[in-house]
């Protein structure tokens, strides 16, 4: 846990950055910054709290559901997730900051449509595990574990890859499997944008 003073600073920073959104530039493929592995977070500082807030703002501005720190040029092991509300998923509609995540895959493997804010306008079918158990540190310093399935589990796998410099296109057998999102397919676009991470 953070000392009281740090907690107060963190709360103030969260409040300020909720009022004034800060949109950071998202690195796009082939930026070499996306390929650098990230270092573990040693300490939860006010800068880190501010970074997490900026990452939510940046993710929302780009209609994403997840964003990893290296995508905004910070090579630290954290990512944020916020899935659109879904009555069937208790993890949806909530903000998560996952610091130093450790992931175990669960369930069968299956093909899922996926996009990435670092490759706007494209999508592909990616083979992922249906579920994950993820252990991580929250912004308040608590170490917690979650079992997740569906979109949350997919997003965890996608974002955790970013921390190792791995991109979703690395899971493709061929770049020809990458598909441009047809602008006329509005429903598809909305769905795929919602899944961009
Ligand atoms: Ni991504």
More confident call, 94 vs 184: 94
Over the stretch 66-118, which tens digit does the pLDDT of each residue have?
999 999 999 999 999 999 999 999 999 999 999 999 999 999 999 999 999 99
Q: Which residues pair with 24 in a beta bridge?
A: none
The tokens describing 186, both together, are: 């509005």
Distance 172 CA to ligand 1 centre (A): 14
Confidence band of 188 (pLDDT split at 50, 70, 90): very low
* 34 alpha carbon – ligand 1 mean position (Å): 9
Report CA(96)–ligand 1 centroid distance (Å).
Answer: 16
- Active centre residues (catalytic): 159
Fold of 3-188: Peptide Deformylase (3.90.45)
3-state helix, strand and coil shares in percent for the chain, rounded to the nearest 5: 35, 30, 35
Q: What residues form DSSP beta bridges with 80?
A: 67, 97
- Going from the Cα of 124 to the center of ligand 1, the distance in angstroms, rounded, reads 12
Query: What secondary structure letter does DSSP report for 36?
Result: S
Tell me, what's the pLDDT at 186? Answer: 44
What is the pLDDT, as a whole number, of residue 185? 55
Q: What is the pLDDT of residues 135-157, one digit of tens each?
A: 999 999 999 999 999 999 999 99
């Amino acid at each position: 846990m953070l000392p009281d003073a740090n907690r107060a600073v963190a709360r103030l920073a969260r409040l300020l950055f909720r009022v004034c959104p800060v949109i950071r530039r998202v690195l796009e493929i082939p930026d070499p910054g996306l390929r650098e592995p990230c270092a573990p977070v040693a300490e939860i500082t006010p800068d880190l709290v501010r970074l997490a807030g900026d990452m939510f703002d940046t993710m929302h501005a780009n209609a994403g559901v997840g964003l990893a720190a290296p995508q905004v040029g910070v090579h630290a092991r954290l990512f944020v997730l916020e899935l659109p509300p879904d009555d069937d998923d208790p993890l949806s509609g909530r903000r998560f900051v996952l610091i130093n995540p450790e992931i175990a895959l669960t369930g069968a493997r299956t093909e899922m449509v996926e996009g990435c804010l670092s490759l706007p306008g494209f999508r592909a079918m990616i083979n992922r595990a249906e579920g994950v158990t993820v252990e991580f540190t929250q912004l308040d310093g608590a170490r917690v574990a979650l079992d997740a399935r569906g979109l949350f589990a997919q997003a965890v796998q996608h974002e955790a890859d970013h921390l190792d410099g791995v991109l979703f296109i690395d899971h493709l057998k061929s770049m020809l499997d990458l598909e441009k999102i047809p602008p006329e397919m509005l429903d598809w676009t909305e769905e795929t944008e919602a899944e961009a991470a």
